[in-house]
A = this chain, B = another copy of it.
Amino acid sequence: MSQKQPATKEIPQKAGKKIVNDFCMTFSTINGSGSATANSILLRSLFRMGIPVNGKNIFPSNIQGLPTWYSIRLSKKGYLARVEKDDIVVAMNPATIASEMQFMVTGAVLFYADDIKIEGVREDIITYPMPVRKLIKEADVPPNLRDYVANMVYVGIVAHMIGMDMDTVYKTLDYNFKGNKKAVDSNWKIIEAAAKWASENLVKSDPYNVEKMPELKDYIMVDGNTASALGSIYGGLQFTAWYPITPASSLAESAIEYLPQLRNDPETGKATYAVVQAEDELAAIGMAIGAGWAGLRSMTSTSGPGISLMSEYLGLAYFTEVPVVVWNVQRVGPSTGLPTRTAQGDLTQAAFLSHGDTQFVILLPGCASECFEFGWKAFDIAERLQTPVMILTDLDLGMNTHMVKTFKYPNKPMDRGKVLWEEDIQKLVDEGKIWGRYADVDGDGIPYRTLPGNRNTRAAYFARGTGHDEMTRYSEDPAVWEHGMDRLKKKISSHKELYPRPEIQKMDGAKFGIIAYGSTGTAIDEARDLLAARDIPTDYLRVRSIPFNDEVCDFLHAYDRTYVVEMNRDGQMRQLLAMDYSDCGSRMVSVAHTDGMPLSAEWIVNSILKLEEK
């Protein structure tokens, strides 16, 4: 087709009807080609225009040369979940254009680099060729940078065609390159030229447009891993040992980036923290537990395979009562699985990790703001209970940039738990009392601990993963063992006030309940509105921690059926709920599915409707 006059077709049903701030664009490129910058400039520009947006990166598990997609959803209503079809596709990769066409709605728009030969263009879509090579040549950029700036061409063309505010685009560009004049100009030149070319050569024949909306005042754009790292830092993170793994690496790397800014002593510039890149996950958790035992706010961050390797060590921490925080940014398992895709498949593993009777506090943040909040709260819980706390997020939540409520500064002072220093021990001694590391003196199941470096001659104790009595003496006495294990159970189960309570949303005349957790929240919100639109009001409980709070029990009892929606194969949350609330077992219906893609509201609605028909 000619480059000057793009083929345009009348798409009856859409004719004339303008679609504003409510569509999805997917940018198809090759990884390693540097499209990230281009995509984020579009994403952040739209956000600056006040339009609710979400960006999702679907990338391969290699470094260069394979297809990668970036989807930007605009939703004036604020729906930010994944949608299954695209309204606009920007195709820079010949290899995948055919398959992309299959996922376009009727009346969709296809922008494509005009050197791509496309066979069998769908009749019901609008196509705009983009003279990428030509525009690059005219802009004469050094050859090695051509692939890279090529992406700026689609920024310019798409921005113009959907009516973005070019001024905002420039500001975003300027911010992105931290004001580096040269970089900004060279990129802007391309964007401008591309936009100009579009205005002169393309006739808009599609309905997709953007319009400014009121500023999104109390929102920010951030990825979950950055939020998690910052939450931990504001929680007083002192030590973290980690081992690289997708999708968790950027959590530790964000800590490495922000700690020096936030946590070096203002006078001396010296560090109040330490980060160690360990030789593997066994060492990472071992170091973290060592540091937690020594009194530091300590954590590690990893993904499924790392958690599996940490199993033995976490049992030691549970049994010796060492506070430590473990982040699991979930990817698709089992085994190496799909390292660059998202899932919620490590939940039952977390619940039953390590041999013997164990129990771990599990936190389930639902958005980046909650990653921040749970980041600092986790340390308070871990130190108060002297036990490991696991925080499960996932690749979608952790690595994608989300529009979320601004972080709230911690509203409570730190809780360092029951720690005795020199003078505390001395006081006990003077009162003729003897301190026992594992004695439940307060009757709340939580003993007092001392920390290495405490110079009181009575402060030291010998921690061990073998049977021990209240004075930490080695013991194989049956009664001593059972007493100790019962106390551990009591310790975790009798302090639910410490765990984030579930979030509950109700509708009048709800037909049934829905339970979900973690990153699927956005899809649930949208799905509930879609169901309500079909006169199916629902109530919704989002689990935010395990052990479950009583609200969960009440919720389950309130409906004759509750759908438990999750992103795994076996319905793991359903399994855990059935275990704890056996009397409600038959009221729970599992809605589980995992293929590496974030759940869509559409899938949730259809699945529930199908089950409702039964």
Contacts and interface: CB of A to CB of B under 8 A. Distances in A.
Interface of A: 60-61, 303-305, 307-309, 311-312, 315-316, 318-320, 332-341, 343, 345-346, 348-349, 351-359, 464-467, 476, 478-479, 481-482, 485-486, 489, 568-570, 572, 575, 578-579, 581-586, 588, 593-597
Nearest to A318: B334
A335 B315 contact: yes
A288 to B, nearest CB: 16
A305 B311 CA distance: 9
Contacts of A303: 355
A353 B332 CA distance: 15
Contact of A596 (B312, B315, B481): B481
A593 B356 contact: no
This chain's copy number in the assembly:
2
Contact of A335 (B305, B356, B595): B356
Given A315-B308, A593-B482, A334 B356 contact: yes
B569 A337 contact: no
Given A338-B466, A476-B60, A478-B596, A333 B309 contact: no
A560 to B, nearest CB: 13
Contacts of A307: 355
B61 A466 contact: yes
Contacts of A578: 578-579, 582, 585
Given A352-B349, A569-B489, A586-B583, A596 B311 contact: no
Nearest to A333: B356
B352 A481 contact: no
A82 to B, nearest CB: 12
Contacts of A486: 569
Complex A-B, nearest 5 residue pairs according to Cβ-Cβ distance, in ascending order: A333-B356, A582-B585, A304-B355, A334-B356, A478-B595
B336 A464 contact: yes
Contacts of A334: 315-316, 318-319, 354-358
A355 B568 CA distance: 11
Contacts of A336: 316, 464-466
B339 A570 contact: no
A335 B320 CA distance: 9
A578 B585 CA distance: 8
Most interface-central of A60, A333, A478 (chain B CB within 10 A): A333
A493 to B, nearest CB: 11
A168 B373 CA distance: 74
A19 to B, nearest CB: 27
A308 B354 contact: yes
B349 A354 contact: yes
A585 B319 CA distance: 29
A478 B597 contact: yes
19 contacts: A305-B312, A305-B355, A308-B315, A312-B335, A315-B334, A319-B337, A332-B481, A334-B354, A334-B356, A337-B356, A337-B465, A338-B476, A341-B476, A346-B356, A478-B597, A482-B594, A486-B569, A578-B582, A584-B585
Nearest to A339: B466
Contacts of A356: 304, 332-335, 337, 343, 345-346, 349, 568
A139 to B, nearest CB: 34
Contacts of A597: 478
A466 B585 CA distance: 35
A463 to B, nearest CB: 11
Residue with the highest number of chain B CB atoms closer than 10 Å, among A60, A308, A335: A335
A264 to B, nearest CB: 36
Contacts of A337: 319, 356, 465-467
A595 to B, nearest CB: 4
Contacts of A341: 476, 478, 481
A595 B476 contact: no
Nearest to A358: B334
Contacts of A357: 333-334, 345, 568-570, 572, 594
A341 B482 CA distance: 13
Given A340-B476, A465-B335, A478-B596, A351 B352 contact: yes
Nearest to A356: B333
A467 B336 CA distance: 8
A583 B305 CA distance: 34
A305 B303 CA distance: 21
Given A333-B357, A334-B354, A575-B579, 4 more contacts: A304-B356, A334-B356, A335-B354, A338-B476
Nearest to A337: B356
Contacts of A352: 348-349, 351-352
Nearest to A345: B356
Given A355-B349, A578-B579, A596-B478, A312 B315 contact: no
Contact of A585 (B304, B305, B585, B594): B585
A238 to B, nearest CB: 24
Contacts of A320: 335
A145 to B, nearest CB: 29
Nearest to A330: B355
B476 A569 contact: no
A346 B110 CA distance: 55
Contacts of A355: 303-305, 307-308, 333-334, 345-346, 349
Contacts of A572: 357
Nearest to A304: B355
A70 to B, nearest CB: 16
